[in-house]
């Protein structure tokens, strides 16, 4: 009988161990699954919170508030006990956030979100485990918003991708001289100069081309191409003349005069009869010309030209003139179906602001009034002919610049 009682006692012990083992396995399955789900959910919450803070940096909003709000919306409210959400913000390390010119971008940040969460167990308390603690972390880098000039800040930009008809051509006369300060020349295809004395640039500035270049004192070929026409289309502000921009464009109340000058002030002017302005002195005062013509031949024969200041604020700020994009760009200066501007620089004053004419042929015939053009000239082709003396003094702050929004990276 004693022997039988001993066997019963041993059986009870074995049963207790077996039940404990089963509960342990159940705890591993159920509570372990709950802990794993929480870990995954917390990691997603940390990633989202870090991204939200990075985007808040671009908007000038409070980074920590943005991160905490997203963590809360995902079920992780910092209570200091069961859930702890830490947001750490530091300046981006040197050399990690640079603009196209290698200059550090201000207000660049690295944001780390750490989430610690405690998961209460259901079965595991039987084996002495009341909670499981998860710790997750996510870090993003947000390079700050900055403004950058169009097409790398080159004073002259020719977007024709052809390697046979060069997007920049100084002309075939030894007397034709270009003097460009404050910026260089970019050609989406090739560039040509009669001699290495035909184009003078600031020290350190070059003629940059995707294809070949001939007779420049500083030329850099093999540059990355701008996709045409996509790169130009992306720059266009809303058309103020077709009603989609809220009819902000002003249609001149009368036809331009046959001679003399015309002045437009304080607005964006819709021009649909550009040929009628040939020979006039066109003066802008805090205004922008928006030319809707897809075909014109403006030569300023015998006088006239552009001068004045562009819009100084708003959507069209710093644009002196925008010419509607023609799906069939100008092919040559005798192209009767193209957009032709023979610029003679005969205006009564200085020309300021960017000219965006990516499907037009722009031909400079000199600065007859003796003052430099303070413009960035963007055309399909840009060239000169005859004995032109062209002087361009590009100043970035006087021309169109666009905001560059931050690149947001998830680092870990």
User: Strand runs (DSSP E) across 38-127, as ranges?
Assistant: 83-91, 109-120
Residues 231, 367 within the same domain: yes
Residues 171, 265 within the same domain: yes
- Only one residue has tokens 């003629």, namely 207
Note whether residue 162 is domain-resident: yes
Query: In the chain, how many domains are there?
Result: 2
Closest CA to 391 of 362, 351, 333, 341: 351
Note whether residue 411 is domain-resident: no
pLDDT in tens, 199-253: 999 998 999 999 999 999 999 999 999 999 999 999 999 999 987 766 689 999 8
- Identify the domain boundary among 110, 144, 178: 144
Percent of the chain with pLDDT over 70: 85
Task: Residue 16: give the domain boundaries.
Answer: 2-144
Residues 371, 256 within the same domain: yes
Give the confidence band of 8 by pLDDT, cuts at 50, 70, 90: low
Least confident range of 30-34, 71-75, 85-89, 98-102: 30-34
Q: How far is CA 55 from CA 24, 59, 90, 109, in A?
A: 45, 7, 15, 11
Q: Residue 27: its pLDDT value, please?
A: 43
pLDDT in tens, 12-60: 655 544 455 555 545 445 556 677 888 899 899 999 999 999 989 888 8
Residues 103, 179 within the same domain: no
Cα(138)–Cα(53) distance, rounded to whole angstroms? 11
Cα(138)–Cα(109) distance, rounded to whole angstroms? 14
Closest CA to 284 of 238, 259, 316: 316
Residues 23, 110 within the same domain: yes
Note whether residue 245 is domain-resident: yes
Kindly state the tokens that stand for 391. Answer: 């002087």
Residues 123, 165 within the same domain: no
Q: Could you give the residue ranges of the DSSP H alpha helices within 277-355?
A: none
- Identify the domain boundary among 118, 144, 170: 144
What average pLDDT does the structure give for the chain?
86
User: Strand runs (DSSP E) across 272-399, as ranges?
Assistant: 281-291, 296-298, 305-308, 319-323, 339-343, 354-364, 377-384, 389-393
Note whether residue 102 is domain-resident: yes
Residues 162, 242 within the same domain: yes
pLDDT in tens, 150-168: 999 999 999 999 988 999 9
The pTM for the full model equals: 0.75
Cα(53)–Cα(208) distance, rounded to whole angstroms? 39
Q: How many helices (H) and strands (E) does the chain have?
A: 3, 25
Residues 305, 170 within the same domain: yes
Residues 138, 170 within the same domain: no
Residues 155, 52 within the same domain: no
- Is the pLDDT confidence value at 101 over 70? yes
Containing 33, the helix (H) or strand (E) segment is: helix 2-59
Residues 11, 48 within the same domain: yes
Q: What is the mean pLDDT of residues 119-138?
A: 72
Note whether residue 409 is domain-resident: no
Q: What is the mean pLDDT of residues 274-278?
A: 92
Q: Residue 133: its pLDDT value, please?
A: 86
If one compares 350 and 168, the residue with the highest pLDDT of the two is 168
Residues 312, 191 within the same domain: yes
Note whether residue 412 is domain-resident: no
Note whether residue 361 is domain-resident: yes
pLDDT in tens, 371-383: 778 999 999 999 9
Give the confidence band of 191 by pLDDT, cuts at 50, 70, 90: very high
- Identify the domain boundary among 112, 144, 176: 144
43 CB-contact burial (10 Å; exposed 0-12 / middle 13-18 / buried 19+): middle
pLDDT in tens, 299-315: 876 677 888 999 999 99
Note whether residue 410 is domain-resident: no
């Amino acid at each position: 009988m004693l022997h039988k009682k001993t066997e019963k006692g041993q059986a009870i012990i074995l049963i207790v161990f077996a039940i404990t083992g089963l509960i342990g396995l159940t705890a591993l399955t159920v509570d372990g699954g709950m802990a794993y789900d929480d870990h995954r959910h917390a990691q997603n919450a940390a990633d989202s919170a870090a991204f939200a803070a990075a985007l808040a940096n671009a908007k000038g909003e409070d980074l920590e508030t943005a991160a905490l709000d997203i963590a809360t919306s995902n079920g992780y409210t910092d209570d200091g006990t069961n859930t702890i959400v830490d947001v750490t913000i530091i300046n981006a390390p040197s050399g990690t956030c640079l603009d196209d010119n290698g200059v550090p971008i201000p207000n660049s940040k690295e944001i780390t979100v750490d989430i610690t969460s405690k998961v209460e167990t259901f079965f595991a308390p039987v084996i002495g485990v009341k909670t499981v603690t998860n710790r997750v972390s996510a870090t993003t880098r947000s390079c700050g918003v900055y403004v950058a000039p169009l097409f790398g800040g080159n004073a002259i930009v020719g977007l024709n991708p052809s390697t046979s008809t060069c997007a920049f051509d100084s002309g075939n006369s030894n007397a034709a001289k270009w003097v460009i300060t404050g910026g260089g020349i970019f050609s989406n295809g090739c560039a040509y100069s009669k001699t290495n004395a035909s184009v003078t640039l600031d020290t350190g500035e070059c003629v940059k081309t995707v294809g070949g270049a001939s007779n420049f004192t500083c030329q850099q070929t093999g540059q990355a191409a701008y996709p045409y026409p996509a790169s130009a289309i992306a720059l266009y502000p809303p058309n103020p003349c077709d009603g989609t921009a809220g009819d902000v464009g002003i249609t001149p109340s009368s036809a331009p005069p046959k001679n003399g000058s015309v002045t437009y002030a304080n607005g964006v002017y819709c021009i649909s009869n550009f040929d009628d302005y040939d020979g006039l002195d066109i003066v802008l005062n805090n205004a922008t010309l928006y030319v809707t013509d897809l075909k014109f031949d403006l030569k300023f024969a015998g006088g006239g030209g552009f001068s004045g200041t562009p819009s100084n604020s708003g959507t069209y700020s710093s644009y002196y003139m925008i010419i509607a994009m023609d799906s069939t760009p100008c092919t040559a200066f005798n192209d009767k179906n193209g957009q032709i501007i023979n610029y003679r620089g005969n205006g009564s004053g200085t020309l300021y602001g960017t000219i965006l004419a990516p499907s037009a042929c722009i031909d400079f015939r000199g600065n007859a009034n003796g003052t430099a053009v303070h413009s960035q000239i963007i055309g399909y082709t840009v060239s000169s002919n005859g004995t032109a003396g062209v002087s361009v003094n590009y100043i970035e702050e006087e021309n169109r610049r666009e905001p560059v929004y931050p690149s947001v990276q998830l680092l870990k």
